[in-house]
Amino acid sequence: MIVKNYRDVRAQPMLKEPGVTVRWLVSELDEAPGYALRLYEIEPRRATTAHTHYWEHQVFVLAGRGAVIVGDQEALLGEGDMVYIPPGERHQFINRGEQLFRFLMALPIPQNTTG
Amino acid sequence: MIVKNYRDVRAQPMLKEPGVTVRWLVSELDEAPGYALRLYEIEPRRATTAHTHYWEHQVFVLAGRGAVIVGDQEALLGEGDMVYIPPGERHQFINRGEQLFRFLMALPIPQNTTG
């Protein structure tokens, strides 16, 4: 088994998304066969870029206040909220609060190399 | 998209595991194509049964103090800890604290029907 605390995993800046970092908790580097688990943190007044891909996301909010925009819908998010984004839906995550907006994301391997 | 708070998802008692509940946050019922996300809560001095299956688990601890036993290894767990259990490894989760031990579990579909 692998056990680690997310705080011990390096927070990598997203080069094209200022104020956004990602920690690769479990990935193909761990020989996980099916899907990866990542932890994202978005600073206040920052957001991921809106993008679309053919795989799904499952998200669980750990801390902060944010929002997700999927298609023409926006949903506010807080601790304990879960988001499921089906394949092919354009999506964007935004920090709407004054603290870090922190969430887990699960996504299939090997489609996870670009976000 | 689907957005919901885990607190709004019914905590189902595990019939063969007293003191353990599961909330099915995302599952094949949501037409998720690849994997499911569940939230488990274990009461103090309770545990899941040790079991083995051919699919993997990814776990993220949300609250409480617990442990996971995989094979002959035991690891203590607290908030922010992530566990990856490869396919085929026998495992058991135990509450070692005085509060609810709460964790997320991601697992592939359709192998997720029995835990």
pLDDT tens string A10-64: 999 998 899 999 999 987 667 777 788 999 999 999 999 998 888 888 899 999 9
Answer for the pair B24, B40: CB distance below 8 angstroms, yes or no. Answer: no
Q: Which residues of chain A neighbour B70 with C-beta distances below 8 Å?
A: 1
CA-to-CA distance for A85 and A25, rounded, in angstroms? 20
Please measure the distance between the N-terminal and C-terminal CA atoms of chain A and give it in whole angstroms: 25
User: Does the pLDDT at position B115 exceed 50?
Assistant: no
The shortest CB-CB distance from B7 to any of A70, A80, A91 is to: A80
CA distances from A101 to A52, B107, B109 (A): 21, 25, 29
Helix (H, G, I), strand (E, B) or coil at A81: strand
Query: How large is the ipTM?
Result: 0.87
Q: Which residues of chain B neighbour A8 with C-beta distances below 8 Å?
A: none
Structure tokens belonging to residue A70: 């999927």
How far does A10 lie from chain B, in Å, by closest CA? 14
The number of beta carbons lying within 10 Å of the beta carbon of residue B46 is: 17
Cis-peptide, bond into residue B108, ω within 30° of zero: no
| Domain A23-114 falls under CATH 2.40.50.100 | no
Structure tokens belonging to residue B48: 């899941």
CA-to-CA distance for A56 and A87, rounded, in angstroms? 4
Q: Tell me: the pLDDT tens digits for B18-71?
A: 999 999 998 766 777 778 899 999 999 999 999 888 888 889 999 999 999 998
Q: What is the mean pLDDT of chain A?
A: 89
DSSP sequence for B37-95: EEEEEE-TT-BPPPB--SS-EEEEEEES-EEEEETTEEEEE-TTEEEEE-TT--EEEEE
Answer for the pair B96, B76: CB distance below 8 angstroms, yes or no. Answer: yes
Q: Which residues of chain B neighbour A75 with C-beta distances below 8 Å?
A: 1, 3
- Matching CATH number, B20-114, of 3.30.430.20, 2.60.120.10, 3.20.20.480, 1.10.3720.10: 2.60.120.10
Structure tokens belonging to residue B80: 């922010």
Taking an 8 Å Cβ-Cβ cutoff, which residues of chain B contact chain A? 1-7, 25-26, 30-35, 37, 55-56, 58, 60, 62, 68, 70-71, 73, 75, 77-78, 80-87, 89, 91, 104, 106, 108
Q: What is the mean pLDDT of chain B?
A: 89
Residue of chain A minimizing CA distance to B2: A84
Contact B82 A31 (CB under 8 A): no
